[in-house]
Amino acid sequence: MAMEIVGDVLRGIIISGLLLAGILVILIWVKDKTARISTLRLFVQIAFVPLLFLGLLIGPFGMPQSPQVGNAPREVLLGADILGHTFPDGISLPVLACWYPSGRTVTCPVWQMQAYIFPFWNAGPGFGWGTFYSSSGIERLAILMGIFIVMALVLGRFFCGWICPFGLYQDLMIRVRKLFKKAHLNFSDRTSAALRQSRYIIIAIFLILSVILGSQAIFGAQLVPDTQPGEYFYSYFTAPFCQVCPMRSLCVLLETGLGFMDANFVFSNTHGAFYEVGYYVTSLNLIVLGVVTVVSLAYRRAWCRICPLGGLTALFSTFAPFKRVALMRLHKDEEKCTKCGICKRVCPTQVTEVYEEKGGDVTASGCMLCFRCVEMCPYEDTLKVKMAGKTVLKSRNWLEPSESE
Amino acid sequence: MKNKNETKKYVPEIPQKEIEELRNSIKTTSQKIIAENIERMKKTSKNRAKTMQYFDENANFFGQREKEIQAAKASGKKVIGYMCMFAPIELILAADAIPVRVNSGWYDASKLGDRIVPVEVCPIIRSTIGAKMIGLSPYLELSDALISVLTCDGMTKLSEILSDYKPVWTMPIPRVKDSAHATRFWREELLATKAQIEALTGNKITGKRLRSAIELTQRATKAFRRLQDIRKGAPVIMGRDAMLVNQTYMWDDIKRWTEKTEALCDELEKMAQQKMWACPPDTPRVMITGTPMIWPDNWKAPTLIEEATPQGVLVADELCSSERLLYDPVGVDEWTMDDMLNAISERYLMASTCPCFTSEDGNEDRINWLLTKVKDWKINGVIYYVVRGCMLYAMEYTRVKRVLDRLNIPVYYLDTEYTREDVGQMKTRVEAFLEMLSARVDI
């Protein structure tokens, strides 16, 4: 037993060491290419795609739930064991790294929350989702939220701006639009604020739905037919948000297109002609993806305005009492600011707090810490990114007309 | 169309002969003053950068640059004059026209302006009217059209008076800038001006042209900021020299100006390494703020400060004729036409710290910017320079003083006129202030 733990720790150290070395090599290689923050961010975003979907590179490519070609890579890579609690779904990062397709190395916490609430009252360990859980839902939920809150406190919505692959997808849409030299549209400040608040309504809706659909396990009575364990909708509807999330269809379509998933299997695992519900993709998923794609061609980072995951991360990093201890903050020096409005205009999620607030800590819940404002602020030292009180990035005199874009 | 003279709203009938006489006499005096000012600037500075030579030559209003613009005009280029720094230079440049600032600093011309407007009016306005009456300013004469931004009362009526002579495009500016509708309004004004520039020059402002115009001014701002950064250290350049560099931007070819300023910065950096100071490093560091000071005549306040005993050195200013002209860059997010126009409109409206704005918190932007300057440029004292009739600056004095008092920075209110008669008493006042400053520096 002890030897196994030592072995696990050693393996973990070696893997993370290799990853770090890889990141360092890439960073050094792109150093002069990424003097600009936005270029650096693009590199980091791209670098994280293979990291998040590392399983695709090393195979074998089983189904996430019931591996048919041997063990799914995530079981080798990230099936975690935390204080005796088996986490076959892996650890989650606050990014939309979809649970459904094969090959991912981390899990989306939104999926985990919904899935773990389902057997919430089902105290004993057991099987769910075709995987063995050694502990009850409430224990797993506690660990999940514990890790989630810690990550939100350390990096906050930095995950959204720099790591989330769906953010990268929307940034690519921005680049597509730029190719056609079209200007973006803006939501009015009121709409923008309303969208930001809608994130919490979405969270509430999917949590309540998880409970209702999991009523069999919770109340011993079935509120919606066919949702009993083993019945048709059981495995589909216990994660209600995932039935509309655009990332699921994007991941599945991309991986199927690249040949990492079997198209016949993916699209046969559905109910009805238009994937009304499907194990891998529903018609809602596809519609939402289509809408989000079109809208993010017009509005920058459209999905991020309503993303419940971003809302959750913001909840634990920009609202009291969490904001007092959150480490990554955006800071503004009131005296150096001439209110030129650049920060407001360049913000991809139309955050107005950085511009409007007088000074001090200006981290806002809509801010995904992409630091575009810090990059574009023309007054030295006015905007600063502080990590645990230490300045890691600050605005500088950028006046060298850029050749990029 | 009626008889031309009937349509003149303000211009008095002055015989052509008198106009010529007046022009010649003021021009001769002005040329003397320009030469004298430059001579005195050379004398004051113990070590003066050799690259200042270019700016000294360029400072001559009636010299090389006038001929250049004349030649450009002959080849079909248009010249567009502007009065306030809110005029969108980038749009003028993108339409392949030449921007020149046409406010006047001639003392004698302000007396002529008295024939049209009463003496209570701000002398800059009176002087500009006077200069136009007799055709004194070469750049004002060469302009095909004028952009007048209605910042203060003087500018508002000035545009009306000047429209007797030339097409004047007015751009009303919102007095409260911090709102979405203010930005929208100003953007509409900008688009209207853009259309007028396009119609006058016959050149369409395309995205590509506008981008290169923006990049041109960004480079100028970069060079300018470099110069300002050098002035944060021990003085290697006298304040008047730096102010002159900034002033020449208002009529020079911007590309050439940028190159020369970069060259000047190179030389100044070398001088700083060799500790070749322009004046002793312990000279009290003075900042001047207030009414714009326009070359060539209205140079008395900086001259008095830097030639006084004890001497002061101007290391920073907050004047729209100097630092405010160039410090803020156009920050473009995406190089689309739409965003470039947004960036230009915001750079002029939002970044400006002109006292013509007000807000709930009392033009906080200007106050904050002054405080930053005081700290970053290690200012020992501030001279608040106001000409008679300049209401906006005069009225903001109390607030500025109160804020600077809290930092324990002495402020001196220096009020004057467009006249040479008060130089003697101003000298006494400035020297008393500098005496106090140098005592504080010694402590």
The string of pLDDT tens digits covering residues B113-141 is: 999 999 999 999 999 999 999 999 999 99
Q: Which two tokens stand for residue A117?
A: 């609430």
Angle at B247 between CA B246 and CA B248, to 5 degrees: 95
What is the percentage of chain B residues whose pLDDT exceeds 70?
A: 98
Of A336, A358, A401, the CB nearest to B215: A401
User: CB B365 to CB A338 under 8 A?
Assistant: yes
pLDDT of residue A405: 46
The string of pLDDT tens digits covering residues B371-386 is: 999 999 999 999 999 9
Contacts of B224 in chain A (CB under 8 A): none
DSSP letters, B60-118, are -TTSHHHHHHHHHHHTT--EEEESSTTS-HHHHHHTT-EEEE-----HHHHHHHTTTS-
Contact B246, B275 (CB under 8 A): no
Rounded Cα–Cα distance for residues B66 and B57 (Å): 12
The string of pLDDT tens digits covering residues B10-56 is: 888 889 999 999 999 999 999 999 999 999 999 999 899 999 999 99
Q: Which residue of A has its CA nearest to B222?
A: A399
Residues of B with CB under 8 A from a CB of A: 177-178, 180, 183, 207, 214-215, 218-219, 221-222, 225, 328-329, 331, 333-339, 342-343, 346-347, 350-353, 364-365, 368-369, 371-372, 375
Which one, of A301, A342, A370, lies nearest residue B332 by Cα? Answer: A342
User: CB B343 to CB A342 under 8 A?
Assistant: yes
Average pLDDT, chain A: 81
Rounded Cα–Cα distance for residues B258 and B424 (Å): 37
Taking the CA of residue A373 and the nearest CA in chain B, the distance in Å comes to 10
- Going from the C-alpha of A53 to that of each of A58, A65, A226, the distances in angstroms are 10, 16, 33
pLDDT of residue A23: 76
Contacts of B331 in chain A (CB under 8 A): 340, 342, 345-346, 376, 378
Which one, of B165, B149, B181, lies nearest residue B356 by Cα? Answer: B149
Instruction: Give the number of beta-carbon pairs within 8 Å between A and B.
Output: 84
CA B68 to chain centroid, in Å, comes to 21
User: CB A376 to CB B337 under 8 A?
Assistant: no
Contacts of B353 in chain A (CB under 8 A): 338
Q: Which of A68-72, B146-150, B207-211, B240-244 has the lowest mean pLDDT?
A: A68-72
Contacts of A405 in chain B (CB under 8 A): 334-335
Of B180, B336, B371, the CB nearest to A189: B180
Adjacent-strand bridge partners of B385? B290, B414
Q: Which residue of A has its CA nearest to B351?
A: A340
- Going from the C-alpha of A357 to that of each of A29, A63, A331, A353, the distances in angstroms are 38, 49, 10, 5
Q: Given a cut of 70, is residue A229 above it in pLDDT? A: no
Q: Which residue of B has its CA nearest to A338?
A: B365
Contact B107, B420 (CB under 8 A): yes
Contact B78, B200 (CB under 8 A): yes
Rounded Cα–Cα distance for residues B285 and B310 (Å): 12
Contacts of A340 in chain B (CB under 8 A): 328, 331, 346-347, 350-351
B424 burial (CB, 10 Å; 0-12 / 13-18 / 19+) is exposed
User: CB A339 to CB B351 under 8 A?
Assistant: yes
Q: Which of A18-27, A123-132, A208-217, B292-301 has the lowest mean pLDDT?
A: A123-132
Adjacent-strand bridge partners of A80? A87
pLDDT of residue A1: 58
Instruction: Please report which confidence band the pLDDT of residue A115 belongs to, taking 50, 70 and 90 as the band edges.
Output: confident
Mutate: best of B221, B372, B375, B379, partner A, most A CBs <10 A: B372
- Going from the C-alpha of A9 to that of each of A13, A77, A385, the distances in angstroms are 6, 13, 33
Tell me, what's the ipTM? 0.87
Q: Which two tokens stand for residue B115?
A: 């024939």
Of A178, A182, A341, the CB nearest to B346: A341
Q: Which two tokens stand for residue A226?
A: 């066919």
pLDDT of residue A67: 38
Contacts of B183 in chain A (CB under 8 A): 341
pLDDT of residue A68: 42
Q: Given a cut of 80, is residue B219 above it in pLDDT? A: yes
CA A119 to chain centroid, in Å, comes to 24
Average pLDDT, chain B: 92
What residues contact residue B35 under an 8 Å CB cut-off, 6+ apart? none
Instruction: Please report which confidence band the pLDDT of residue A69 belongs to, taking 50, 70 and 90 as the band edges.
Output: very low
Taking the CA of residue A368 and the nearest CA in chain B, the distance in Å comes to 17
A361 burial (CB, 10 Å; 0-12 / 13-18 / 19+) is middle
What is the CATH number assigned to the segment(s) A327-394? 3.30.70.20
Break chain B into its structural domains and give their ranges. Answer: 16-442
Contact A261, A104 (CB under 8 A): no
Contact A261, A55 (CB under 8 A): no
pLDDT of residue A314: 95
Q: Which two tokens stand for residue A84?
A: 């005796």
Q: Which residue of B has its CA nearest to A346?
A: B333
Taking the CA of residue B164 and the nearest CA in chain A, the distance in Å comes to 35
Angle (deg, nearest 10), helices A165-179 and A283-298: 50
Break chain A into its structural domains and give their ranges. Answer: 1-30, 36-325, 327-394
Q: Given a cut of 60, is residue A315 above it in pLDDT? A: yes
What residues contact residue A141 under an 8 Å CB cut-off, 6+ apart? A113, A116, A117, A120
Q: Given a cut of 90, is residue A303 above it in pLDDT? A: yes
Contact B83, B148 (CB under 8 A): yes
User: CB B375 to CB A400 under 8 A?
Assistant: no
Contact A159, A95 (CB under 8 A): yes
Which bin fits B147, alpha (ψ -120 to 50), beta or left (φ > 0)? beta
Contact B49, B276 (CB under 8 A): no
Contacts of A378 in chain B (CB under 8 A): 328-329, 331
Q: Which two tokens stand for residue B415?
A: 């009020």
Q: Given a cut of 90, is residue A247 above it in pLDDT? A: yes
Residue with tokens 């809290």: B406
Average of pLDDT values for A357-381? 91
Instruction: Please report which confidence band the pLDDT of residue B160 belongs to, taking 50, 70 and 90 as the band edges.
Output: very high
User: CB A399 to CB B221 under 8 A?
Assistant: yes
Rounded Cα–Cα distance for residues B436 and B414 (Å): 15
User: CB B331 to CB A397 under 8 A?
Assistant: no
Better-predicted residue by pLDDT, A141 or B189: B189
- Give per-residue burial for B309-319: e unless 16+ CB within 10 Å, then b: eebbbbbbbbb
Count CB atoms within 10 A of the CB of residue B136.
Answer: 26
Question: Does residue B416 sit in helix, strand or coil?
Answer: strand
